[in-house]
Amino acid sequence: MLETSRRWRREGDSVGLVPTMGALHAGHMSLVERACQDNTKVVVSVFVNPLQFGPAEDLDRYPATPQRDLDLLRSAGVAAVYMPSAETMYPAGATTRIQVHGVAEPLEGEARPGHFEGVATVVAKLFNAIEPDRAYFGQKDAQQAAVVKRLARDLDTGVEVCICPTVREADGLALSSRNAYLGPEERKAAASISAALRRAANSYGAGEHDLERLRREVLEVLEAEPLARVDYAALVDAETFRPPGTLAVLAVRIGKTRLIDNHDLAQPFPG
Ligand code: PAF
- CATH number of residue 53's parent domain: 3.40.50.620
How far is the C-alpha of 224 from the C-alpha of 59, rounded, in Å? 31
* In-domain check, residue 138: yes
Of 196, 193, 211, 190, give the one whose Cα is nearest residue 266: 211
Domain boundary among 164, 187, 209: 164
pLDDT score, position 252? 98
What number does the ligand 1 atom closest to the CA of 47 have?
Answer: 10
Q: Ligand 1 centre and the CA of 197: distance in Å? A: 24
Shortest-distance atom of ligand 1 to CA 123: 9
Catalytic residue (choose from 28, 101, 115, 209): 28
Asked if 34 and 160 sit in the same domain, the reply is yes
CA angle centred on 51, ends 47 and 57, rounded to 5°: 95
Which amino acid is residue 98, in one-letter code? I
Residues 89, 122: Cα–Cα separation, whole Å? 8
Same domain membership, residue 181 and residue 160: no
Residues 27 and 156 in one domain: yes
130 and 211 inside one domain = no
Number of domains in the chain: 2
Given this model, what pLDDT does residue 271 score?
87
| Residue 271, in any domain of the structure | no
Q: Which of 25, 31, 123 to mutate to test the pocket of ligand 1 (most atoms within 8 A of CB)?
A: 123
Indicate whether 253 belongs to any domain.
yes
Cα Rg, the chain, nearest whole Å: 19
**In the annotation, is 28 catalytic?**
yes
| Rounded distance from Cα 21 to ligand 1 centre (Å) | 6
Residues 217 and 113 in one domain: no
Residue 152 shares a structural domain with residue 181: no
* Separation in Å, CA 110 to CA 49, 59, 121: 19, 19, 18
225 lies in the same domain as 141:
no
Q: What distance in Å separates the CA atoms of residue 168 and residue 165, rounded to the nearest whole number?
A: 9
106, part of any domain: yes
Query: Is there a domain that residue 144 lies in?
Result: yes
Distance 59 CA to ligand 1 centre (A): 13
pTM of the predicted structure, to 2 decimals: 0.98
Q: Pick from 133, 164, 195: which residue ends a domain? A: 164
Specify the pairing of strand 257-264 against strand 247-254: antiparallel
Residue 202 lies in a domain: yes
Which CATH number characterizes residue 185's domain?
A: 3.30.1300.10
Range of the domain at 258: 177-264
Same domain, 188 and 222: yes
**What residues are in contact with ligand 1 under a 6 Å CB criterion?**
19-21, 49, 52, 119, 122-123, 141, 144
Q: How far is the CA of 49 from the centre of ligand 1 (A)?
A: 8
Looking at ligand 1, which residue's alpha carbon is closest to its atom 8? 20
Whether 224 maps to a domain, the answer reads yes
**69 and 202 fall within a common domain:** no
Residues 17 and 125 placed together within one structural domain of the fold: yes
Same domain, 205 and 129: no
The whole-angstrom separation of Cα 119 and Cα 138 is: 14
Final residue belonging to a domain, choices 143, 164, 185: 164
Split the chain (271 residues) into runs of 10 and give each run's mean pLDDT: 98 99 98 99 98 97 97 98 98 98 98 98 99 99 98 98 98 98 98 98 98 98 98 97 98 98 98 87
For residue 245, the one-letter residue type is G
SS (H, E, C) the chain: CHHHHHHHHHCCCCEEEEEECCCCCHHHHHHHHHHHHHCCEEEEEECCCHHHCCCCCCHHHCCCCHHHHHHHHHHHCCCEEECCCHHHHCCCCCCCCCCCCHHHCCCHHHHCCCHHHHHHHHHHHHHHHHCCCEEEEEHHHHHHHHHHHHHHHHCCCCCEEEEECCCECCCCCECCHHHHHCCHHHHHHHHHHHHHHHHHHHHHHCCCCCHHHHHHHHHHHHHCCCCEEEEEEEEECCCCCCCCCCEEEEEEEECCEEEEEEEECCCCCCC
Q: Residue 270 domain-assigned?
A: no
Q: Do 94 and 9 lie in a common domain? A: yes
